[in-house]
Chains A and B, each alone.
Chain A
Amino acid sequence: MQQFLESFLPAGPVVVFVFSIIPLMIILIYALFAIWLERKVAGHIQDRLGPMQTGGWHGWAQTLADLLKMIQKEDIVPAKADRFLFKMAPFIAFAASYAAFVAIPFSSGYIGSMIDIGVFYIVAITSLLSVSIIMAGWASNNKWSLLGAMRTAAQTVSYEVPTVVTILSVIIVTGTLNLMEVTEMQTGNAFLGFLPSWLIFHSPFMVIAFVLFFIASLAEAHRVPFDLPESESELVGGYQTEYSGMRWGLFMLTEYADMLLLSLVGATLFFGGWNSPFGSFMDGPVWGAFWMLFKGMVLVFVMMWLRWTLPRLRVDQLMNLCWKYLIPLSFVNLVLIALWEMIF
């Protein structure tokens, strides 16, 4: 990819700029699409149509119109808020989730940075999200925001443990933290002759690992049934209560970017990343990008589906689920996967 860009762009900083701007473009276009999709999914689950007017075909321009509206809105900072922290928080939140995309292999020809500690880097950089949320909650000088931020801190710190442990159990199998290499390992049809050699088919315990990972990532992305930080019916808007206009929009963008990030990590670790499900058919760098985003979007769709189906857990039940079930299970699973690796 880099060579391809260098062939027609002036060398140096411009290439680097274009190269690094690609994930941002992907996130922005995806966010516009995902918010529209969320409305459509919600609508059809609830026996209605969702947006139908804006832009003509099934209201495709609805999020675009909302974005324009948000940009025009007055930028309100509460009088007694900590202005600096209040203004910084959304940027840090978005920067954290955007920075994580650098280690995601979008296709066999494109990865932001080929770092050997890819997964570790992603886990580390997304921890910044909780910092920004606590910043937002504290700086707003609003008790509801503070409650939301406190919940987030507890939730994110707790759920990082099962996420990391399930990722670790995948790493035991792959032997590398580099997501590009993890994906390359999953090329071909190794299992039973026809199943793609994705890690989810590697052993029954990998299925358990995926389920644990998915539940934990729901909590990490603050999606129903774990959307306590912003639980609308309890905390008004949680840490977002005092935000309006584009600052709020950035939090929204972060939420959706985070969903995609965790879905893409899940797709890479368990579903073969950019590998085609049909062996060498529909393979190649361009199809690779398609498959990667497609697999990610399927997981994003499941998250939306859950959101419009399930009620919300209470904060103590959330902690119970994490510390009493998810963490012990993920550790047991880690040991079982390690044993499986040793025996076979």
Chain B
Amino acid sequence: MEVTGVERQKKISQPKVNHKKVRAKIWADRYMYLMILPVVIYFVLFHYWPMLWLRIAFYDYKILKGFEGSKFVGLKHFKSFIQSPDFLNIIWNTLYLNLLSLAFAFPAPIVFALLLNELAAGKFKKTVQTISYLPHFLSMVVVVSMIKNILSPSIGIVNSIMKNMGMEEIYFLGEAKYFRPIMIISGIWQEMGWGSIIYLSALSGIDPELYEAAVMDGAGRFKQVIYITLPGIAQTIIVMLILRIGTLLSVGFEKVYLMQNAYNLSVSEVISTYVYKRGMINNNYSLATAVGMFNGIISLILVSLANSLSRKYTEISLI
């Protein structure tokens, strides 16, 4: 077989794999591999292996009958979801809620981390940090129950204060227009502290000499943040942003479902609640899987898109 110039060039440029060296290297790093092994096993068991069962989406799957006993229905469940009269509304509700979250909830931990970073290390800083983490550990049922009680027009403290100030009471959970703000604000309260950890760790990696040099050059606190701190954590922010974009079609099911009521259904029906009602309550796993698969494919496209845009304009990317 004739070898072209280009192929020859490729062969020359490719380093020869020395298997002995590789084996030696692996053996030398065996503890590192051992450390990563549980995570690998976890991902294989709980993320990759279950993918084999994604074909449930193409069957009218019955647990006891298995794949061979269940009827193959092709794209029936995908069609059923897409042709549903609520499809566009559900997609819009999910997307809109996530875009709002991206606009307000995503920057909140960054701002919080920057503010914390400006505080001198001490008891106050640690106390603020600890308190800010606490809501993350509350059960969603407890959080929603608190929201309902706080905002109730009859027994809630917010309306009580409003009434004492001469304002008219508002049934916040009874008006669809308040649903999204409540979701976003409570989401920020719950996750801002926890979400700031990753940025705080990125901030700790910035070389203190840069700040010293900036002070020498006459930069104030604000300029230090703009020209040193933010660029220092830019990579982390972008990576987090790309990952966040990948979840634009996912909304935490529990909170939306618990907050959903007859008044706000038009804006609170999102993909996950729809799947729960049509798929899980009735044990229609095929439909639930089909919607999940649809969701996954769209999310993969979004992540890939965000990743390539980021690589093009900022040279930072996930892969």
A interacts with B: no
